[in-house]
Structure 1
C-alpha cells in the first residue's frame, strides 16, 4: 500500500510538469485510395487518455510531448503510429485494412478467412460474450448468433442449456450439435455420467472463441455427426513474445427464483370450505407459502487465477479455476479445475507443438426437485412443523409429503473427475513449404462416483429408505491426421488449398448401479462404439473473385451392420466476391459476396450401440427370474433368464441433405456489416423408436428408420459500429432467425394419418399432449378444441365435435399449435465512455406455445377434494374456470408464449494503474421478461410446463486484476 501511495503521489506531482511541456499539433487524415479526408478518425497519444477525433474535413488538433507516439485508428483502415519529433503539423494517410475480412476462422480440419468462407460459418469471440457469473459455456453465446437457440433447463446449480442449430434435424436421435474442443470431438451423449452439462468441464473464462458451422457444406467434413451443426471451441493459449501476465478475477453472485407457480393462498384455500365436498376439519391455523419455504437465496463465487508468458519460440498459459454456485433449492455445484496450454515452435517455426490439458473435478449436490411439485400441492393452511416439532404430514399413504421434508430428508451427490487433453503437431515440410502435416491426438476421460439417499415416506408405514451408490467411467479417445497443401499459383491466378486425412475415435462407457429399497438391485453395464473416417477437401480461389470448395467424408460406425456400416457425406459450396469485380469500384458497398452450398450429413447417435444385432439381457436380482421349485425349507428357487432384445438388422444412417444460399455485405467502410442466409433441409431414414405389431419383433418398441422431415429457414445478422470516437464508442448486433419444421413421412407404409403420441404429462398414467404426424412440426400439441359460453368463459367438458358424430371421442382431438418458435432474435449493444462500459443483450421468441400442465392438472376442485384420505392445494386458474374435474386435453391450456427477455446487462469501469489494471463490474441476468404467458416461464424447450425448476435472477459483482 505504501508503494502504491508513493506512486500515486509521484504521478500527481508529475502531471502539471507534463502539461507544461505539451505542444499543440494539427493535422489532416486522408484515405490513401482517393485522397479524400476521413471524418471521425481517432487520434490518440499512446499510453495516455489524451486524444481527439477528426472533423468533417479530416482535421484534428492534439496536445503532445516530444518523443510521444500518436496512434491514428479508424474502422476499416490499418492503424498507423507516428512519433512526434517537434513538427508543427503533419498529415496522415490511412490505408484500407482487409483484416476484418481476413480474420481467420476455423473450419473442419483447417482454417479460412471470412472473405474466403463459402459455408455458413459464424464466429463469436471473447469480446462478444455475455458477461456475469457464467458456469455453463453455452450461455456465453446465447442470443449472439443467428440460427443458434440456447435454452437453459432451469435455475438449478450447474445447469447447462439445450443448443439447437437451425432447429435440429432428427426425432428420436440427438438434436445436439457436435462440439469440438481444441480439435477433440466430445461425446454427443454427454461426456460424463452424473453431470448436468457436458460442457461444465470447460471453464468459460478459458474460452477464446466459438465458431458455429451451420450448413451442410461447412459441416460435411464431419460427416456422420454433423446433421445438427458443429461448434468449434478454441481455448486461450497465450501469445509469443509476451511479458509475464498475471490475472485474477472474482465474480460474487446471488440468485433467486424469478417467478413461482400461481397456486391458491391460504385465504383463497379456506374460502373453498363452502363447497359441500370440502372437509373443513382438515384446515390448519397457518398461512404457509410453501414455495417461499423451499426456495432460498443462493450465493456463488467464481475465482480465476491465470499466468501467461511468451518467448520467441515458446508460450504458455496456466489457469486455476474454482466455482461454487448454490441453487435456490439448496442444491450446490462446485468445480475445481486447472487449465494449461503450452505451445513450442521449432525449426524456424516450421514445427509447432501444442499441448492443451484440463484437469477438472465437478461436484454436484442435487436437490430433490420433487419438492417443487409438493410445494404446489400441499395444503397452505398447514404449518411447517407440528406441535411436536416434526414436519407436518397429511398422514395417508398416497398423500403429498411435506415439501420441506422432501427437500431436507434427501441427499444426492456426484463427484466427477475429468481430464481433457489434446496434443497437436503441425509441421511444414522442409522440401515443400506449402505442404503441412497436422496430427491431433486427444482423450476425454471421466470417472464419477455418487450416492443417493431418500428417507422413507412417513405417510406409508410399509415404505423403506432408498440407498443408492453408483460409479462410472467414460473414455473418449481420438486420433486424426491430415495433409494440407496451400499455394498461390500465379500462372493461373488461383490459390489452391487441398486437405486429405484420416480419423478414428472410440467411446467406452462403464456404469455401475447398486440400489437398496425393499429389494436390492445391482447392475453393471458396458458400452462401446467406434468411428473410422476418411476425409478430403479442395478449395480454389480464382482471381480473388471466384471461390469453389468441395469436401467428402467416408464414415464407418460400429453401430450399424457391415452391410450398412459405411456412409458417404459430400459437400460443395461456391462463392463470388462481387466486391472485387471492376464494376464495383465506385460502389457504396465496402464488401459484397454471394455464396451457395449443398451437402449431405449423417446421424448415428441412436442410443443403443447394438441395435442392429440380437443381444440378450440377463435377468438381475430376481427381476425377471423364473421360480423353479423350492428348497427343503420352503424357500423359492429362482433360475436366471436371458431376455432377447428387439433389433433391426437393416438399421442404417439417418441422412440430411441441406441447401444454403447467402449474401455477405458491408457498408460505410464496413461500419455496417451483415449476412442473409437461407436454407432448406431434408432428412430421410429418420431414426426413431416406434411401436411395432405384437409378434413382429422381440419387443413392442423398435429403433428403426421410419420417416422423413424437412426444415427451412432464413437468418439475418447485422453488425454496426455506430460511434467510434476516442472517448465514446457504440456498437451493436442484431440477429433474427425464421424457421419451420415439418414431418413429411413417419412410417414405412407412408400413411399420412399415422401418428405417434409424444410429450408425457402429469394428471394420469401414460397421458400425452403432443404428437408426431406427417404435415406437422415435431412439437405440435394434440388437444380438444374448447367450447366457450357467451361471456367467453370455458364450459367444462364441452369440446368441438370435429367429426360430427354427436359424441366427443379421441377422434375429435386435433393437432394444434406448437412449442417451436416461428422466429427468435438476439439484440446486443455495447457502449463505452472513457473507462466506463455498458453492454446488454435482449433475446426474444415468437410464435411458440406452451402447455400449462401445472394448471391443467391442478386447476380444478377435485385436485383439492378428490384425494385418497387428504386434501391438497389447487392451481389458481381454478378461480377463473371453476372447473371441478381435470380437463387435461383442452386447448385452453395451450398458451401463446412469445417473449422478449433482457437476458444480460453489465456495467463496468476500468481503472488503469502503473503496473496493474483493475476492472469492476456489476451484472444482472434474466432481468425481466415481457410476455402474455401467465405460467411460470414462457421459455421451456419441450413446451410443457410441469415441475419446472424456475429460472433465477442473478446479481453479480466482478473484480478483475491484471498485472
Structure 2
C-alpha cells in the first residue's frame, strides 16, 4: 500500500527535477527594501496597507531551542494566541487569532510561505501543518489581521494571514557560510501532586487497614521513573551568494534531534532548502525558484503513562521476575494480568513502539515579466506543489501486560496529502500624475487540485483483523482581484474581491464570494499638523470584510453528508490608530475589532440506523456568535546611545465573545460533557454542576444546586477563553553584551481540572486486589467518590510565563577577520506564576485530562559566519 501511495506522486518529483535542471545563469536583481511586505501577489510598502502591520525578523522572535515556527510567535503579536498542544517533541501549537471564527472549523491564520498558501492540515497526526519548515530559514514574519487585501486569499483568510518569507541572497552578496548550533537540556518544571509512599502507607493504615496487606515494601516515585532530563540539539548550515555575480542562491541544511522529558519521546528532522532568484532582460524577466525537502521522525511516548504514574501504588517496585517483560504487573489468581488494575507506566513507554514518519516536499516556480512598453504592469505565472507522505506504526508485543489478552497488537496507517496549484495574475503598480496618486491593481485566477488517501490496518495475535481505505479529491478554483488607490501619500482606498468554488461542497453552496474594503488617512501629511516635530507618525484606518469559509476537511470527514449544508459566513469590521512620537522613540497603535459568524457549523449525533450500534454524525448549520475586542502595541526606546540601547515593548488584547442566536427551540448545544454553546453566553462555556458547601466552607459530597423540581442541575458558567492576553519584552545591548526576555500570559481563562477530579477521592485508593494512589489534595475536599462534573474543579488559570531569557555575547571578528562569532545562553519556561493547581495552566480546549507537561529548557548556542 505504501508503494501504491507513493507511485501516484512520482510525476511531481520528476517535475521538480526538470525545472531544477533547466536553471542556468541569469542577471540577478537586488533584494527589495526592508520596509516592504512580500505578499503572494507582489510587494507593497508597509505604509500602503489599511491596518497597522508589524514585520518581525529573527532578532525580534522568540529565542532558545526552537523546533517549530509556532514557538517563534508566542506572545509576540497582539491578538494572536499560541497555545502549545503539549510539551512533547514536535507537537507544535494551536494558533488562534483572537477568539477564532468557528467552533469546529479552522481557527488558525492562513500561512503563506514565500507567496504560496499552505494547507491547514498535515499528513501526520503528531506534527503541525508546517513543522517541515526549519525556523532557521525564516527571514520575516508578518501577521495581517484585518487588512482589506487579505480577502484576495479567499475564505481561509478569515482568521488572518501569516506571511512568512525565507532567507535569500542578492546579486551583490559575497559567498557566505553560516553555521548555527544550539544544544540544550530539558527538565520537568513541576510534578503532579500525589501522595508519596510514606503518605500513601499512612492513608491505607488509617482508612483501609483491611487492605494493608496489599502494600509493597518499596518507595517508588513513579514520576521520577517516567520522566528524565532530556538532551537535544539543533544544527544548521547554509551557503549563500551570487553565482558568477549573476544568480543569487541560498542552500541550507538543518538537523534537529529533540528528546522529550517523557522517556522514549523523540523528534528528528532533516531539512534541505534551496532558493534561486535570478533575473534577465535588464530585470524585466525574473524567476523565483524555491524547493524545500524535510524528513521527520517522531517516537511518540504513550501519554497514558503520565496518568498511570499518578495512580500507581508508590510502595510497589518498577520491575519483577515475570513473563511480561520483567515489569511489575498486577496478576489474577490464574497468573494472567489483571485488566482492571493500573498499568505499569514504564511498560507503556518502553514496551510499546509508536513511530511516525513524514516526508514532505514543497516547491514553486514563479515567473514574472514586466512589459517593456509598460514596466509598471507585470505578468505572473506560478506553479506550486506539496507532496506529503506519512507512515504511522503502533506495536505492542504479546508479552506486554496491557495487551496480553490480545496476544499483541499492531496498527499501521499510510496517509498521503498532495496538491498542485497553478495561477496566473496581472499586477499593476502605476504612479499617476494627477493628485500625486498611485494605483495598484491585481487580477488573476488559480486552480488547485487536492488529493488525500489513507489506508489503515489493525490486527492482533488472536487473529482479529480490520482495514479501512478512503480517498478524497477536490478541485478548487478562484478568480480574484485587488485594487489600492493612494493620493499624495495621505489617503488610501483598498478593496479586494474573490470568487471561489470547491467540488467538495454541496451543490447548493458550491460557489461563494468574498469581498473587503479599507481606508487609511495619514494625518501627519496634513497641513494642520505641519511643524509638529514631536509627531513621527499618525494614521487612522478602518476595514470591513466578508468571508465564506470552505472548511473542506471538517465537512467531508464525517460519517454522513448533509446535502443542504452551507459554508460558514464571517463578517469582520475594525478601526484603529497608529502613532509615533520623537522619531518613533515612543510608538504604538490601538485597534478595535468586531467579528460575527453565522450559519455556524456544528456536529449532530444521530441515533443508530438499521440496528447498527454505532451512532452517526452529521454537520449542520445552526446560529452564530460574535467576538469583539481592543488591541494595543506599545514600544519605547528607553536608552539610545552608541554603546547602550534599551527598548521595551508590550502588547495587550482584551477580547470577549457571545453566542448570538440558535434556531428556535435550541438553548444548549453540547460538545463533550463539559462544554456548551448557549445564547447570550461566551463561546466555549463550561457546563457543570454548581458545588454546594457546608458552614465550614467544605464541599458537600454530591451536594449541587437544584432545579425547581429538586434535581441536580448543571449550569452554564465561565469560559475557556481569556479576557486579556498580554506580552512584555525587553532588549538590552551594551557594547558586545545583550540581554533579552519575554514575559507573556493571560487573565480570565479557566481550566476544568478533570485529572484532579478523577484522582481527588478516597474511594479511588482501594480497588479489589490492588491499591491506587490519589491526589495529595484529597483532604481539602473530603470526597469519597470522584465528582467528575463538579465546578469545584473548575479553576482559574490566569498565568504569567517567562517564555525565555537570553544572554548573548558578540565575540566579533575572528580568524584574521575572516569570520564572525556570536554566543548565547538561554532559559525557556523558567517560571510560571499561576493559581492553577495542575502542572500547566495552558491547556488546549480547556479540559485538563493529564497532558504532557511543558519542560523548562536550558540551552547554549553559537553562530559562526564566514
TM-score, normalising length from structure 1? 0.82
8 Å contact kept, 1:422–1:443: yes
Is 2:318 the counterpart of 1:384? yes
Query: Which residue is equivalent to 2:19?
Result: none
Paired residues, what number? 816
Deviation at 1:387, TM superposition (A): 5.7
Deviation at 1:789, TM superposition (A): 2.1
Deviation at 1:540, TM superposition (A): 0.6
Deviation at 1:121, TM superposition (A): 3.6
Deviation at 1:255, TM superposition (A): 0.7
Unmatched tracts of structure 1, length 5 or more: 1-98, 613-644, 760-767
Deviation at 1:460, TM superposition (A): 7.1
Deviation at 1:462, TM superposition (A): 2.7
1:509–1:606 CA distance, 2 compared to 1 (3 A): closer
655-664 or 868-877, larger mean C-alpha shift? 868-877
Q: Equivalent residue of 1:198, what SS?
A: coil
Choose from 678, 701, 707 the match for 1:773: 678
8 Å contact kept, 1:166–1:214: no
Query: Which residue is equivalent to 2:354?
Result: 412
Deviation at 1:463, TM superposition (A): 3.0
Is 2:697 the counterpart of 1:783? no
TM-score, normalising length from structure 2? 0.91
Is 2:370 the counterpart of 1:454? no
Query: Which residue is equivalent to 2:223?
Result: 291
Query: Which residue is equivalent to 1:621?
Result: none
- Give the Cα–Cα distance (whole angstroms) in 2 for the partners of residues 240 and 928 of structure 1: 46
1:102–1:666 CA distance, 2 compared to 1 (3 A): farther
Query: Which residue is equivalent to 1:233?
Result: 164
- Give the Cα–Cα distance (whole angstroms) in 1 for the partners of residues 608 and 843 of structure 2: 36
Q: Equivalent residue of 2:829, what SS?
A: strand
1:657-677 CA-partner distances (Å, limit 9, x unpaired): 000101111111111221111
1:771–1:876 CA distance, 2 compared to 1 (3 A): same
296-305 or 491-500, larger mean C-alpha shift? 491-500
Choose from 441, 445, 460 the match for 1:502: 445
1:937–1:278 CA distance, 2 compared to 1 (3 A): farther
1:194-231 CA-partner distances (Å, limit 9, x unpaired): 44222210000000111111126242111221221111
Deviation at 1:442, TM superposition (A): 0.9
CA RMSD of aligned residues (A): 2.1
1:270–1:248 CA distance, 2 compared to 1 (3 A): same
Q: Equivalent residue of 1:279, what SS?
A: helix
Query: Which residue is equivalent to 2:651?
Result: 735
Q: Equivalent residue of 1:903, what SS?
A: strand
- Give the Cα–Cα distance (whole angstroms) in 1 for the partners of residues 513 and 152 of structure 2: 10
Deviation at 1:606, TM superposition (A): 4.5
1:269–1:360 CA distance, 2 compared to 1 (3 A): same
Q: Equivalent residue of 1:226, what SS?
A: helix
Deviation at 1:100, TM superposition (A): 14
Query: Which residue is equivalent to 2:771?
Result: 871
Q: Equivalent residue of 1:950, what SS?
A: coil
8 Å contact kept, 1:903–1:926: yes
Deviation at 1:800, TM superposition (A): 2.1
Deviation at 1:708, TM superposition (A): 0.7
1:242-276 CA-partner distances (Å, limit 9, x unpaired): 11111111101111121122111111111122224
Query: Which residue is equivalent to 1:207?
Result: 138
- Give the Cα–Cα distance (whole angstroms) in 2 for the partners of residues 271 and 821 of structure 1: 41
Choose from 599, 602, 607 the match for 2:553: 607
1:432–1:231 CA distance, 2 compared to 1 (3 A): same
Query: Which residue is equivalent to 1:862?
Result: 763
Deviation at 1:743, TM superposition (A): 1.6
Deviation at 1:398, TM superposition (A): 1.1
- Give the Cα–Cα distance (whole angstroms) in 2 for the partners of residues 331 and 692 of structure 1: 38
8 Å contact kept, 2:49–2:147: no
8 Å contact kept, 1:578–1:593: yes
Is 2:576 the counterpart of 1:662? yes
Is 2:500 the counterpart of 1:555? yes
Unmatched tracts of structure 2, length 5 or more: 1-30, 332-337
Query: Which residue is equivalent to 1:322?
Result: 255
Is 2:714 the counterpart of 1:813? yes
Choose from 847, 853, 860 the match for 2:748: 847
Choose from 592, 611, 618 the match for 2:538: 592
Deviation at 1:555, TM superposition (A): 0.5
Q: Equivalent residue of 2:773, what SS?
A: coil
8 Å contact kept, 2:104–2:554: no
Deviation at 1:774, TM superposition (A): 1.8
Q: Equivalent residue of 1:199, what SS?
A: coil
Query: Which residue is equivalent to 1:357?
Result: 291
- Give the Cα–Cα distance (whole angstroms) in 2 for the partners of residues 363 and 250 of structure 1: 20
Choose from 144, 155, 178 the match for 2:76: 144
655-664 or 773-782, larger mean C-alpha shift? 773-782
Is 2:50 the counterpart of 1:118? yes
- Give the Cα–Cα distance (whole angstroms) in 2 for the partners of residues 216 and 243 of structure 1: 37
- Give the Cα–Cα distance (whole angstroms) in 2 for the partners of residues 417 and 217 of structure 1: 36
Query: Which residue is equivalent to 2:513?
Result: 568
Query: Which residue is equivalent to 2:16?
Result: none
Deviation at 1:405, TM superposition (A): 1.0
Q: Equivalent residue of 2:341, what SS?
A: coil
1:20-419 to 2 correspondences below 5 Å: 103-107=35-39, 109-119=41-51, 121-190=53-122, 192-215=123-146, 217-272=148-203, 273-276=205-208, 279-310=211-242, 312-329=245-262, 330-386=264-320, 390-395=326-331, 396-419=338-361
- Give the Cα–Cα distance (whole angstroms) in 1 for the partners of residues 307 and 96 of structure 2: 28
Deviation at 1:942, TM superposition (A): 1.1
Is 2:646 the counterpart of 1:704? no
1:878-927 CA-partner distances (Å, limit 9, x unpaired): 12112101111111101111111100111111112211111111011000
1:278–1:871 CA distance, 2 compared to 1 (3 A): farther
- Give the Cα–Cα distance (whole angstroms) in 1 for the partners of residues 467 and 542 of structure 2: 55
1:110–1:368 CA distance, 2 compared to 1 (3 A): same
258-267 or 454-463, larger mean C-alpha shift? 454-463
Query: Which residue is equivalent to 1:717?
Result: 633
- Give the Cα–Cα distance (whole angstroms) in 2 for the partners of residues 862 and 452 of structure 1: 34
- Give the Cα–Cα distance (whole angstroms) in 2 for the partners of residues 700 and 468 of structure 1: 24
1:342-393 CA-partner distances (Å, limit 9, x unpaired): 1101111111101111111111111111111110111111111136692111
1:461–1:129 CA distance, 2 compared to 1 (3 A): closer
Choose from 821, 826, 835 the match for 1:932: 835
Query: Which residue is equivalent to 2:28?
Result: none
Greater CA radius of gyration, 1 or 2?
Answer: 1
8 Å contact kept, 1:215–1:660: yes
- Give the Cα–Cα distance (whole angstroms) in 2 for the partners of residues 182 and 277 of structure 1: 68
Q: Equivalent residue of 1:483, what SS?
A: strand
1:514-533 to 2 correspondences below 5 Å: 514-517=457-460, 518=462, 519-533=464-478
272-281 or 418-427, larger mean C-alpha shift? 272-281
8 Å contact kept, 1:685–1:706: yes
1:278–1:861 CA distance, 2 compared to 1 (3 A): farther
8 Å contact kept, 2:229–2:261: yes
